[in-house]
Chain A
Amino acid sequence: DSGVTQTPKHLITATGQRVTLRCSPRSGDLSVYWYQQSLDQGLQFLIQYYNGEERAKGNILERFSAQQFPDLHSELNLSSLELGDSALYFCASSQTSQTPPRNEQFFGPGTRLTVL
């Protein structure tokens, strides 16, 4: 158990709909990362938040957005869903406030999204 929690585990929805994925980082971790894993693309970085602020963006579609709240949990919002958005979505967290910073990221169990 990595200490990172994600809900829900599974999500089945229809094209055009909007969903919200939730992530709680490990205790004390300030950075949260979102990744998408599909069969053909592998694990792809979407976005990073650090202590409530957006830190970096990767291959995240404009239909997708995220935020990190004061209690450090994060939500990934996916809207106008398409069949191709079906994938595993992982959240990871890291402890970057130590000196020196610990760079390893610890992953949650993921949310499997199926768009029908």
Chain B
Amino acid sequence: EDQVTQSPEALRLQEGESSSLNCSYTVSGLRGLFWYRQDPGKGPEFLFTLYSAGEEKEKERLKATLTKKESFLHITAPKPEDSATYLCAVQESQGAQKLVFGQGTRLTINP
């Protein structure tokens, strides 16, 4: 069964303090790994899709990377508006196109 584990559960940073969020996954065959941002009470907002080990994607202060067993979401010089829960999900290469989500990392950026 597919499994996704995110760490840490929660992270507090000062504005401008860079860090990384981790997503470890177990899947029989990976079609894609997805990162989403979720604000309280809102729907997940799509950020990135990564398809193969070594791939990297960037958007503003965020950069996502992928290895065969984990993905990292690097946040550089974060701002308070980057505060949110970041969700990682995997999609199998065979069968259903469902997403299997991790529990998320709750990120707080203090001004």
Contact = CB atoms under 8 A, between A and B. Distances in A.
A96 interface: yes
Interface residues of B, number: 24
A109 interface: yes
Interface in B57-95: 87, 89, 91, 95
A16 interface: no
B97 A2 contact: no
B55 interface: no
A55 interface: yes
Interface string A56-71: 1010000000000000
Contacts of A25: none
Given A42-B102, A103-B91, A104-B34, A48 B97 contact: yes
B49 A104 contact: yes
Interface in A78-116: 88, 90, 92, 94, 96, 103-110, 112
Contacts of B102: 42
Contacts of B41: 88, 110, 112
B28 to A, nearest CB: 15
5 contacts: A43-B99, A94-B97, A103-B31, A109-B42, A110-B43
